[in-house]
Amino acid sequence: MKNLIILLSFLSIFSCKKAQENVSKPSFSQEISIDKNWNGDKLISDLNFVSSINPTCKLKTTFFNRSEKQIEEDDAKCTLSKIKFNYEKLNSINKKNIIGKLASNIELFIKNNIPKSNNADLSYQTTLYIEKNKTITDSIVIYQSFNFSEALTVKTKYYYLDKNEIYLLDIVEDESGVNVEKWEHYKINSSGKISSVQQKSFSKDNNITKTSIDFWKGKYHFEASNRDEVKTIFNIIINSLEDISMDITEEGTTNKYSKLKAEEINYQKIKIKYNDSSDEMGVIYIEKSDDNYFISGNPIYFINPGNNEIPLQKIK
């Protein structure tokens, strides 16, 4: 009995000591603090909200032919308009900006940096850094805004930070409306490392995936005359996005280009650079809208200024 009393006394002391340790050492979650001015919009974490963007933000009429009333109706219908966080304020960040802590020795900060490679006319990018014991342990790009003026396209990455959870959303806006490309969910662990939890890819058309796009394959023809009745003709053959040839006739002279490659602006719009020496005058864009194709770019615009996008005939 005496030994039992001693054992119970020992267990009681041990239990009290353990309780004191638990009080003196807060859990990981109790120490988390994120600055609400920089945590993004909570809707980005809602996959149901993300899934509603494509069907509600697709335009039923031509982008440039809409009335002010139609524009207001389209904006109100598009669920993307529910996002209230002002992501554009990230564009003005010019130094390291501490936005929170995950623990006493794990700090989060954001900083703007230059994208490694993109052909955007205007671009912004913000990276989230995790720093443990004053050493950067991991990082991830959480915000991007790429503006392609010739293609009339804007690519944007939005984010939301919830404690040690990171949610990212990639969208593309063009003449057809808004299209979700990808949604991602990450988690930061106690070592200051970022790990993937879930990823979901989207397509503009339920029958189209990024790995099985074959609707570009074919022969295309375009011709138009300027005010002086000088004709410009484009004959384009797309075997794949890695194998394109093009014959361009201007003022009676035909130039042939081969072994061209296309850059995907989004699932239904591609960019083809056929003449490196002509800058933007050597670039065209082809877009698919339902069963119709359109051609645009400076070479098309300057045939008859004011017409930036003209129907393109797909022959085969």
Residue 265 sits in a domain whose CATH number is 2.40.128
Mean pLDDT score, 269-291: 85
pLDDT of the residue at 43: 96
Residue 109: enclosing H or E segment and its boundaries? strand 106-112
Give the confidence band of 5 by pLDDT, cuts at 50, 70, 90: very low
The answer to the question of residue 22 being in a domain is no
What is the span of the domain harbouring residue 259? Answer: 218-314
- Residue written as token pair 């004709």: 231
Kindly state whether residues 143 and 42 are assigned to the same domain: yes
Based on the fold, state whether residues 175 and 238 are members of the same structural domain.
Answer: no
How many other C-beta atoms can be found within 10 angstroms of the C-beta atom of residue 156?
19
| CA distance readout (Å), 297 to 214, 244, 276, 278 | 23, 17, 15, 12
With respect to residue 17, please indicate whether it lies within any of the assigned structural domains: no
| Residue 1: band (very low, low, confident or very high) from pLDDT cuts 50, 70, 90 | very low
**One domain for residues 178 and 301:** no
Q: In terms of DSSP H, where are the helices of the chain?
A: 2-24, 47-51, 53-57, 68-77, 298-301
Instruction: Answer yes or no: are the C-beta atoms of 200 and 215 closer than 8 Å.
Output: no
Whether the predicted model's global pTM rises above the 0.85 cut: no
The answer on 299 and 223 residing in a single domain is yes
Q: What is the pLDDT of residues 110-124, one digit of tens each?
A: 999 888 766 788 899
* pLDDT of the residue at 306: 66
Contact 169, 186 (CB under 8 A): no
- The answer to whether residue 232 is domain-embedded is yes
Mean predicted lDDT score pLDDT of the chain: 83
Give residue 114's pLDDT: 85
18: in domain: no
Do 267 and 142 have their domain in common? no
Locate tokens 């503009």: which residue?
204
In this prediction, residue 46 carries a pLDDT of 94
Mean pLDDT of 239-250: 92
* 39 and 154 housed in the same domain: yes
β-bridge mates for residue 107, sequence order: 101, 131
3-state helix, strand, coil in the chain (%, to 5): 25, 45, 30
End of a domain among 201, 235, 254? Answer: 201
Which residues, other chains included, contact 250 with Cβ-Cβ below 8 Å and sequence gap of 6+? 230, 232, 233
Place 239 in a pLDDT band, splitting at 50, 70 and 90: very high
Domain assignment of residue 297, yes or no: yes
Lowest mean pLDDT among 61-65, 126-130, 272-276: 61-65
Q: 42 with 108, same domain?
A: yes
Same domain, 127 and 236: no
Domain boundary among 145, 169, 201: 201
pLDDT tens, position by position, 140-159:
999 999 998 877 889 999 99
Tell me the C-alpha to C-alpha distance, in Å, between residue 231 and each of 154, 225, 304: 32, 4, 11
Residue 222 lies in a domain: yes
For residues 113 and 34, membership in a common domain is answered with yes
Residue with more model confidence, 28 or 260: 260
Is the model more confident about 66 or about 10?
A: 66
Q: Verify that 88 and 143 share a domain, yes or no.
A: yes
63 domain-assigned: yes
Examine the pLDDT at 313 and tell me if it is beyond 80.
yes
Local confidence band at 260 (pLDDT 50, 70, 90 cut-offs):
very high
Report DSSP state, residue 9.
H
Residue 11 has pLDDT above 90, yes or no: no
β partners of residue 153: 148
Our count of domains for the chain comes to: 2
Q: Check whether residue 225 and residue 78 sit in a common domain.
A: no
Query: What is the spatial distance between Cα 78 and Cα 3, in angstroms, rounded to a whole number?
Result: 74
Given a cut of 50, is residue 182 above it in pLDDT? Answer: yes
The pLDDT value given to residue 15: 47
- If asked whether residues 191 and 225 sit together in one domain, one would say no
pLDDT of residue 276: 84
Question: Per-residue confidence at 264, pLDDT binned at 50, 70, 90?
Answer: confident
186-236: pLDDT as tens digits: 999 999 999 999 988 886 544 333 433 467 889 999 998 888 888 999 999
The residue among 170, 201, 232 that closes a domain is 201
**209 located within any domain:** no
What is the spatial distance between Cα 158 and Cα 182, in angstroms, rounded to a whole number? 11
